[in-house]
Each structure stands twice: as structure tokens, then as C-alpha cells.
Structure 1
Amino acid sequence: MSEFTPVAGLMGGALIGTSAVVLLAFTGRLAGISNIAHGLVASLRQGKPMDAAWRFVFLLGMVGATWAYFHATAATVNPRQHYPSGLLVLGGLLVGYGTSMGNGCTSGHGVCGLGRLSVRSLAATLTFMATGALTVFVLRHVAHI
């Protein structure tokens, strides 16, 4: 990360929090993205179109809002360079496995779970953060990637 953008960060956090509250208020569901995506696939397999619909709309809104932001601001995505593709694939698979093991992802535990004062979500969020810090340390100072 090379630039400090507090306004964008605050606006993004407010939008994430607002979307979590709106989803909970209207559907009684938590805004855990991994569970929403997994539930979309499961709903389609089980022939539950109404359950699949809200999940699809929520995920589409995330992608659509991102597209709208980049379109409106003319911002560009600058992907990280010089990371081995195999390492990136391994990282993605480990994230998927971890969300399955932890019964949710950072959005489910960190945003929704902590907001509900869940002890399990606190433990999960502390684990996510510690693992992330350790990963950055190892990649930057040990592996020099």
C-alpha cells in the first residue's frame, strides 16, 4: 500500500456496515460473503430460486458498485507484480479452505460477528489479523517477495 486514503476508507467502511445492517434488517441474514456465495450455489442446486435471488442480487451489487466506482472516478486497478502464479492460486485455495473451517470469512466474522459481540467471531477475527500480519512479515522480510 503506497498511499493513505482515509476518506475512501471511511466511505467504504460506512457502505459495508450499511449494507450489512440493511441485509440483516430485510432478510435476517448476515453479510458473510463466503456463506452468501456458497448459499447461492447450494440454492441453485436445490432449486430454491427465491433464496438464490437475494444472494445473486447482493453479490451483483458488490461487483456493480465496484464497477461504478472505477467508472465514476477513472481510477485504475494496479495489480501486484512479480508474485508467482502458483503461490497466488495456493493462497486462494487456502482462503477458501479457511473460510470453510472457520464457518465464515472476514466479512461475516469481522463485520457482522463483532457487531453482534460474538466471542467466536472475535477469536476468528484475531486469528485472521494475526495470520495476515505473519504472512506479510514472512513474505517481505524472510522470502523477500
Structure 2
Amino acid sequence: MSIDWMNFTPWSALAGGALIGLAAALFVAFNGRVAGISGLLGSLLARGGEGRGEKALFLLGLLLAPLLWQLFAALPVIEFQGGWLSLTLAGLLVGLGSRYGAGCTSGHGVCGISRLSPRSWVATGVFMGAGFITVFILRHLLGA
């Protein structure tokens, strides 16, 4: 294995991770709720949910962040090497996994682990392991 030193960006990754952690911590401090994106979106779409305003603003901030970033630097080029079928299948599998796992990567991986939740440790291990296995199979066994 070799490292692509031209695209190795530890400082921006560290800054991004710190900002994600800060946003999650502020959300739980001010709202008393975990900032799990699938849960926020699901409760925002449900009828009669409470706290709809702050949930909508939090999700809107996620959508507007790339536009704000463009004021300072060019956005990275997005590359997706699969077709629409694989993109749709991946989205459905992630949606089903987050529904059955009672949370998503942000809810379990960022907020749950920081709260030392055993359920979140297991869920994060499962979805990370599934991702590692999927990449290994696709790239090394199937050559895709």
C-alpha cells in the first residue's frame, strides 16, 4: 500500500472532524438531543414532531455548508465510478441499515461513541466492518 502524498490532507481532515464534534456537542448541549442526521430528518418529516425549527435549521446548515465553503476555496471534484443502479442500491441499503440500526453514522459514530454507548460501539463496528468488507470484495476480489 502506498500513500498518495499529493492528496493526503491530515490538517483539513482534523479540522473537519473537530467541527463535526463541536456541532454535535453544541446541538446536544442546547437541545438535549443527539445530532443523528437520519433521526433528525425522520422526525422532521413526521407529523407533529417537536423542535422542528432547530432540526430544519441544522439540516439546512448541512446543505448550505458547501456553498459557504465555495466562498473561500474551490469545492473538490466529486467522482462516482458506479452507475445509477449501484448508487440507488447503496442509498437504499444505507437507509435500511440506519433504520434497523436505530441510527446512522452521525448518531452512533459521532454522538453515541462520545457518550460511551455500548449499542453505538457495536453499531459503529458493524457498519465500519461492513464497509471494509465491501471495499475489499469489490476492489480486491471482483476487481471493480
If the length of structure 1 is used for normalisation, what is the TM-score?
Answer: 0.90
**Range with bigger deviation, 108-117 or 2-11:** 2-11
Corresponding residue number in structure 2 for 1:79: 79
Q: Which 4+ stretches in 1 moved above 3 angstroms?
A: none
Alpha-carbon contact 1:99-1:105 (below 8 Å) kept:
yes
1:39 equivalent among 30, 43, 46: 43
Corresponding residue number in structure 1 for 2:24: 20
Kindly provide the amino acid, as one letter, of the partner of residue 65 in structure 2. A
Distance in structure 2 (CA, Å) of the matches to 1:9 and 1:19: 15
Kindly provide the amino acid, as one letter, of the partner of residue 33 in structure 2. R
Distance in structure 2 (CA, Å) of the matches to 1:144 and 1:89: 21
Corresponding residue number in structure 2 for 1:108: 107
Deviation at 1:76, TM superposition (A): 3.1
Distance in structure 2 (CA, Å) of the matches to 1:37 and 1:135: 26
Any gaps of 5 or more consecutive residues in structure 1?
A: none
Corresponding residue number in structure 2 for 1:128: 127
Is 1:119 the counterpart of 2:123? The answer is no
Secondary structure of 1:73's counterpart equals coil
**Range with bigger deviation, 2-11 or 31-40:** 2-11
Distance in structure 2 (CA, Å) of the matches to 1:93 and 1:71: 33
Secondary structure of 1:71's counterpart equals coil
Deviation at 1:75, TM superposition (A): 2.6
Alpha-carbon contact 2:27-2:35 (below 8 Å) kept:
yes
Alpha-carbon contact 2:98-2:104 (below 8 Å) kept:
yes
Report the aligned-residue RMSD. Answer: 1.6
Deviation at 1:78, TM superposition (A): 2.4
Is 1:61 the counterpart of 2:65? The answer is no
Is 1:10 the counterpart of 2:14? The answer is yes
Alpha-carbon contact 2:66-2:75 (below 8 Å) kept:
no
Is 1:89 the counterpart of 2:81? The answer is no
Aligned length: 140
If the length of structure 2 is used for normalisation, what is the TM-score?
Answer: 0.91
Larger % of helix: which? Answer: 1
